[in-house]
Amino acid sequence: MAKLKVALYWAASCGGCEIAQLQIGDKLLKLVEAADIVFWPVAIDVKYKDVEAMPAKSIDVCLFNGAIRNSEQEHIAKMLREKSKVVIAYGACAYEGGIPGLGNLFNRKTIFDRVYTETPSTDNSGQIFPQTAYQVPEGELTLPEFYDTVKTLRQTVDVDYIIPGCPPEEKTTWLALEALITGKLPPRGTVISHSIKGVCDECPRKRDVKKVKKFYRTFEIIPEAETCLLEQGLLCAGLSTRGGCGALCPQANMPCTGCYGPVEGVIDQGAHFLSAVASVIDSNSPEEVQKIIEDIRDPVGTFYRYSLPDSLLRRAKIK
């Protein structure tokens, strides 16, 4: 059998997905036995023009991580789609926008103002902002256009499969790679993970009655070791979040933040999480409820930690 041709790319992301890919350890050797890596900016020196010169559909699989937040990322996403038979959204940013997707609470202007003038360590009296083109004696210099709105990979090109996670767990990555190597691919559109149920399903903590009088941030309490974290007032997204990770965070006393995306069948993970939280508040008095929910700082960042661009509203309206 001819070797598979694999491309890997990063867009608006942190580099953690590359680390997750390397984390498969000696299984990498199995991967390179079965596949040639033709493009991987983090590890091999292949230029954009080299990819451009590849015939259409000549790459078998493209693992694309990162959200789409500027014109360069959009261009490369479209180019890799054209060159690849199978495109996989790898990780929370490509899947749902991820942490960079929280930029959708702002727009280009408010982000640029913050970064290039307002931050306390910035002195920009000349009001210099990034330009997409600038003339210098040597010619024209260009930068990609920064968009107002962060998009998911699926909102940009057709996507065949999704590998969830921030970053995807080693076993999740290998589940997908093994399917590719052996040619036993699931139906198109599948979110590849060991579970279609929630993180709670894999969590060993005991669940009893969810009645919460006060919500805490993680640094405010040390949770009891065996009881459900949500019952202890920590905003744990386990019940809205797809499992497959092995519920690692709750077992380390940290609430699930939702990185594997919504459970099967849910469109808007944040709304699902919010309605679950609303149902555990133990009060019938509007004033008391108001006081309880005031402890939830940054609700969008809590409920839509990774999924704002993929939510029903997609972004905030900026006045």
Contact 33, 6 (CB under 8 A): no
Minimum CB separation from another protein for residue 15, in Å? Answer: 25
Q: Which stretch binds another protein (CB under 8 A): 12-20, 229-237, 246-254, 311-319?
A: 311-319
Q: Which of 40, 112, 116, 147 binds another protein (CB under 8 A)?
A: 147
CA distances from 136 to 133, 139, 141 (A): 10, 5, 7
User: At residue 228, what are phi and psi to the nearest 5 degrees?
Assistant: -45, 135
Which x/- pattern, by CB under 8 A, does the window 57-96 give for another protein? ----------------------------------------
**Given the rule CB under 8 A, which of 1-9, 85-93, 142-150, 203-211 is the region that contacts another protein?**
142-150
Q: Which of residues 253-282 bind another protein (CB under 8 A)?
A: 274
Helix, strand and coil content of the chain, in percent to the nearest 5, comes to 35, 20, 50
Given a contact cutoff of 8 angstroms between Cβ atoms, the answer to whether 70 and 13 are in contact is no
Q: Which is nearer to another protein, 20 or 77 (CB)?
A: 77
Query: From the list 28, 37, 105, 179, which residue makes contact with another protein (rule: CB under 8 A)?
Result: 105
Residue with Cβ nearer another protein (189 or 301): 301
What residues numbered 290-309 form the site for another protein, per CB under 8 A? 298-300, 303
What is the distance between the alpha carbons of residues 182 and 273, in angstroms, rounded to a whole number? 37
3-state secondary structure 103-118: HHHCCHHHHHHHHHHH
# residues contacting another protein (CB under 8 A): 18
Least separation in angstroms between residue 248's CB and another protein is 27
Chain residues 151-190 in contact with another protein, contact rule CB under 8 A? 151
Q: Which of residues 107-126 bind another protein (CB under 8 A)?
A: 107
Q: Which residues contact 168 (CB under 8 A, 6 or more apart)?
A: 17, 20, 90, 91
* Span of 92-100, 219-227, 248-256, 310-318 interacting with another protein by CB under 8 A: 310-318
Q: Does 283 bind another protein (CB under 8 A)?
A: no
Q: Among residues 22, 29, 143, 318, which is the contact residue for another protein, using CB under 8 A?
A: 318
Q: 58-85 in b/e burial notation, b at 16+ Cβ within 10 A?
A: ebbbbbbbbbbbbebbbebbebbbbbbe
Binds another protein (CB under 8 A): choice among 65, 149, 173, 195: 149
Q: At 182, which amino acid appears?
A: T
- Per DSSP, the residues of 153-194 read STTTS---EEE-SSSPPHHHHHHHHHHHHHT-PPSTT-B-SS
Give Cβ neighbours of residue 278 (< 8 Å, ≥ 6 apart): none
Residues 85, 274: Cα–Cα separation, whole Å: 38
In the complex with another protein, the residue whose CB is nearer, 54 or 308, is: 308
Tell me how far, at minimum, the Cβ of 270 lies from another protein, in Å: 8
Q: How far is the CB of 295 from another protein (least distance, A)?
A: 14
User: What are 75's two structure tokens?
Assistant: 């261009």
Give 90's strand partners: 163
Work out how close the CB of 145 gets to another protein at its nearest, in angstroms, rounded to a whole number: 9
List interacting residues with another protein (CB under 8 A).
Answer: 105, 107, 147-149, 151, 274, 298-300, 303, 313-319
